A and B are shown apart, each in its own frame.
Chain A
């Protein structure tokens, strides 16, 4: 029997497991193949929902569904945390020290937030990148009537490179709708010498920030936060006073990856086209944990899952895999509370940013609703 183990039941792992169940139906029925998904959390979390929580448009409950409701019945599900990957022995170890052998392993463990990497950030900053943070920020924002709101991207890479720009444009609009914008100064900070990693988005965002009276501080790498004084300081020596600090916390890969020798910095080193690990045989990685030169985005995890499903289906049938990932990335960007734009690009391409419109805003919300069908493999 060919045993495929997938670790992580987020966007990438769930889409992959369902695609494999579909593609390998006859082999699964004949007992020639096993598709096993191992994930720590019994809930599947759709993180893009968190962007809307601070504005009271969604709740954190809207972001989660039981993983077993999303998985094809032909997939074997284990709710367990993997604590060790032995790539030589082709085996996983769990918290209770039991082991599981695999013939091919796919890591889809995502990225985690590391606010403690910046002194003072956990106490002084707010974020909308997880359920608790998004709820606290909603309460802070509800009471915020005047002062300086700083949106700071503390480090890259981070999930969804568009989200900080979206939040800034949305909060501007939201404050205007409430008649409070004149009493609030808004500043957006970014680590490199422009407002975003992709040049076309940086230009687009800078024009909109100018038009909406949002200050931009570039080359701003957050070094420390002083919660008592309300000051955020950069490595470059710039200080900003804030009344409300919304910071995208630094992200970390995982110790699991480092300990397994799959990538020194916690992201799995992979071939950017085949998504196979560079430092071990029979291991692939998809989604945020894979180190490829594009965004850490759900759309990337989704397309990568399709490629790896095709490659593993070929392997399971004894054929040579041919499917490759070309870096396709698709992203809707909110430009306020009721209009959005849309971009798509592949490796080495610069996206074209369309004029924001209401239909694209509704398309983004519609996509968010239909996401549950996507995860199930129906879309």
Chain B
């Protein structure tokens, strides 16, 4: 899969139920350098609240949330 233009890393968690997408993200962020931009694809609506809450707690930056058909892409930057 190709990354969207503004993300260095794409995590495809579509199909996973809560808290799967958040845990996929946490597992991956551990391995990434500061400054990396990440696109998290999810079909779980709860991710749109869980993920921003975690980013705030962990101190990473939420860039934007794109809404598609029954799925969301959450863009963030690792700090």
Contacts of B50 in A (CB 8 A): 192-193
Q: Does B63 contact A (CB under 8 A)?
A: no
Q: Are A293 and B19 in contact (CB under 8 A)?
A: no
Interface size on B, residues (CB 8 A): 17
Q: Are B19 and A156 in contact (CB under 8 A)?
A: yes
Q: Smallest CB-CB separation from B20: which chain A residue?
A: A293
Q: Are B54 and A156 in contact (CB under 8 A)?
A: no
Contacts of A219 in B (CB 8 A): 53-54, 57-58
Q: Are B20 and A192 in contact (CB under 8 A)?
A: no
Instruction: Give the A-B pair count, Cβ closer than 8 A.
Output: 40
Q: Does A197 contact B (CB under 8 A)?
A: yes
Contacts of A293 in B (CB 8 A): 16-17, 20
Q: Are B57 and A192 in contact (CB under 8 A)?
A: no
Contacts of A236 in B (CB 8 A): 54, 57-59
In the complex, chain A residues 187-204 whose Cβ is within 8 Å of any chain B Cβ: 191-193, 197
- Between A and B, 23 residue pairs with Cβ closer than 8 Å are A155-B27, A156-B23, A157-B23, A191-B23, A192-B19, A192-B22, A192-B50, A193-B50, A193-B53, A193-B54, A193-B57, A197-B19, A219-B54, A219-B58, A221-B30, A223-B30, A235-B26, A235-B29, A236-B54, A236-B58, A293-B16, A293-B17, A293-B20
A155 to B30, CA, bound (A): 12
A191 with B26, Cβ < 8 A, contacts A156-B19, A235-B58, A293-B20 known = yes
CB distance from A196 to the nearest CB of B (A): 10
- As a 0/1 sequence over residues 95 to 123 of chain A, the CB contacts with chain B under 8 angstroms (1 = contact) are 00000000000000000000000000000
Q: Smallest CB-CB separation from B50: which chain A residue?
A: A193
A191 to B27, CA, bound (A): 11
Main secondary structure, interface of A, reads loop
Q: Are B30 and A192 in contact (CB under 8 A)?
A: no
A38 to B30, CA, bound (A): 36
A128 to B73, CA, bound (A): 38
The chain B residues found within 8 Å of chain A, CB to CB, are 16-20, 22-23, 26-27, 29-30, 50, 53-54, 57-59
- As a 0/1 sequence over residues 143 to 181 of chain A, the CB contacts with chain B under 8 angstroms (1 = contact) are 000000000000111000000000000000000000000
A157 to B27, CA, bound (A): 11
A237 with B59, Cβ < 8 A, contacts A192-B19, A193-B53, A293-B20 known = yes
Contacts of A348 in B (CB 8 A): 17
A81 to B23, CA, bound (A): 31
Q: Smallest CB-CB separation from B59: which chain A residue?
A: A237
A191 to B23, CA, bound (A): 8
Q: Smallest CB-CB separation from A234: which chain B residue?
A: B58
A237 to B79, CA, bound (A): 13
A236 to B29, CA, bound (A): 11
Contacts of A191 in B (CB 8 A): 19, 23, 26
Contacts of A237 in B (CB 8 A): 58-59
Contacts of B59 in A (CB 8 A): 236-237
CB distance from B11 to the nearest CB of A (A): 12
Contacts of A235 in B (CB 8 A): 26, 29-30, 58
CB distance from B60 to the nearest CB of A (A): 10
CB distance from B8 to the nearest CB of A (A): 19
Q: Smallest CB-CB separation from B54: which chain A residue?
A: A219
Contacts of A221 in B (CB 8 A): 26, 30
A29 to B22, CA, bound (A): 51
A348 to B16, CA, bound (A): 11
Contacts of A155 in B (CB 8 A): 23, 27
Contacts of B58 in A (CB 8 A): 219, 235-237
CB distance from A318 to the nearest CB of B (A): 33
